[in-house]
Amino acid sequence: MDIGDCPFRKKRRPWRMDFSSFALVTVALAVCQTTVVRADPVDVLRALQVPSLPEGVKKVPGFCTSRRSSSPDHAYRITKKAQISAPTKQLFSGRFPENFSIMALVKAQAGLQAFLLSIYSEQGIQQLGIELGRSPVFLYEDQNGKPAPEDYPLFRGVNLADGKWHRIAFSVSKKNVTLLLDCKKKMTRPLPRGNNADVDTNGITVFGARLLDEEVFQGDIQQLLIASNPQAAYDFCEHYSPDCDSPLPKTQAQDPNTYYFDEEQDDHEYPYYYEETTGVPSSSASPSPQPGAPSLQDVDTEYVEAGHTATETDYYYEETVPLPEGEVIGHEEIPAQPQV
């Protein structure tokens, strides 16, 4: 059933799979495992051999159809037929970084609710997952099972699957995870994991799905990177995925800036994020642009060229469908909304 047809969001279940099924997949992937010299950031698409265009994948125009001083961007269109996975050792030959960044330039099919990336332990436990869709969850579970599923960070009010290009970056530092969306919005959530948290690299990494899950990613993706430091996420729009008036850099050769945002300051407000209001904000409500800050036109060149005017619904949405009493989403309990 399509998530858009559901009267309420499904309750989240533990991200585990049948061990026997996992063992078969692990054995099959181990046959083709190769030794890989680790790069930083890790180019996940390349490590999973997406550029070789396996079944269900084709090359399409990317984020910028025209880019200064370089050729146009290209991306990969992922369909339901795609089945992409590999031993995690092909991405990380050593230890998975405790503090890290995950960055993606992606255009998910509108209405989608699926995982873009899933990393499983040797025992078949999903330890890391990036969900796209409405109010996406950042799934992380360390070697001791922390945090519990009900405490997974949830980014309420965000829609990462609206049929438009988005620059998405997660910064994981200590016991917080920060989402930086389209170079404009910063949202920080607690990540109550244990000390010296670890992600097992002896399992498998699955792109575009969770094992045994019917919902799969469909859409276009241009970049998917994992860096071994939390700063890289803050530099994504400058060093890894710049605006269309700048050349596309070689992602493996970029060094993060030395500055860092204040982790204690949560949810920096921008004119295109609203909790209770509707309509396009007036120019008087918009903050003065900062030097070097990306313009609204830089967020989605394809839609700007088509005459599209950005509104707050391009990035966020409001929960308007009543939820059953006691329905639990992430770590928050949502009371039933009164009938109007």
The pTM for the full model equals: 0.68
Contact 177, 57 (CB under 8 A): no
H/E element, 26: helix 19-31
Residue 283 has pLDDT above 60, yes or no: no
Domain for residue 168, yes or no?
Answer: yes
Q: The domain that contains 128 carries what CATH number?
A: 2.60.120.200
* β-bridge pairing 126-132 and 114-120: antiparallel
* CA separation, residue 306 to residues 75, 241, 302, 303, 310 (Å): 19, 21, 6, 5, 12
The tokens describing 178, both together, are 């920060």
Domain for residue 282, yes or no?
Answer: no
The tokens describing 219, both together, are 């859409």
- The confidence band for 16, taking pLDDT boundaries of 50, 70 and 90, is low
Least Cα distance to 231 among 195, 261, 251, 187 occurs for 261
As a whole number, mean pLDDT of residues 136-161 equals: 97
Cα(164)–Cα(311) distance, integer angstroms: 12
Domain for residue 130, yes or no?
Answer: yes
As a whole number, mean pLDDT of residues 242-271 equals: 53
Cα(43)–Cα(37) distance, integer angstroms: 12
As a whole number, mean pLDDT of residues 173-185 equals: 96
Report how many domains make up the chain. Answer: 1
Cα(274)–Cα(289) distance, integer angstroms: 19
- The confidence band for 69, taking pLDDT boundaries of 50, 70 and 90, is confident
| Secondary structure of 70-139 as H, E, C letters | ECCCEEEEECCCCCEEEEHHHCCCCCCCCCEEEEEEEEECCCCCEEEEEEECCCCEEEEEEEECECCEEE
More confident residue, 268 or 87: 87
Domain for residue 313, yes or no?
Answer: yes
Amino acid at 307: G
Dihedral in degrees, nearest 10, Cα atoms 111, 117, 119, 125: 0
Cα(229)–Cα(100) distance, integer angstroms: 4
Amino acid at 54: P
As a whole number, mean pLDDT of residues 88-105 equals: 96
Residue-averaged pLDDT of the chain = 75
Residue 46 has pLDDT above 70, yes or no: yes
Amino acid 299: pLDDT: 36
- The confidence band for 213, taking pLDDT boundaries of 50, 70 and 90, is confident
As a whole number, mean pLDDT of residues 213-224 equals: 96
As a whole number, mean pLDDT of residues 214-239 equals: 96
Distance, CA of 99 to chain centre? 16
The tokens describing 109, both together, are 């099919």
Domain for residue 262, yes or no?
Answer: no
Contact 10, 135 (CB under 8 A): no
Domain for residue 299, yes or no?
Answer: yes
Note down the domain range covering 144: 3-257+269-275+288-334
Percent of the chain with pLDDT over 90: 57
Residue 302 has pLDDT above 70, yes or no: no
Least Cα distance to 310 among 269, 276, 279, 287 occurs for 279
Residue 308 has pLDDT above 70, yes or no: no
Domain for residue 264, yes or no?
Answer: no
- The confidence band for 248, taking pLDDT boundaries of 50, 70 and 90, is confident
Amino acid 40: pLDDT: 85
Show the CA angle centred on residue 226, arms to residues 223 and 227, nearest 5°.
125
Domain for residue 339, yes or no?
Answer: no
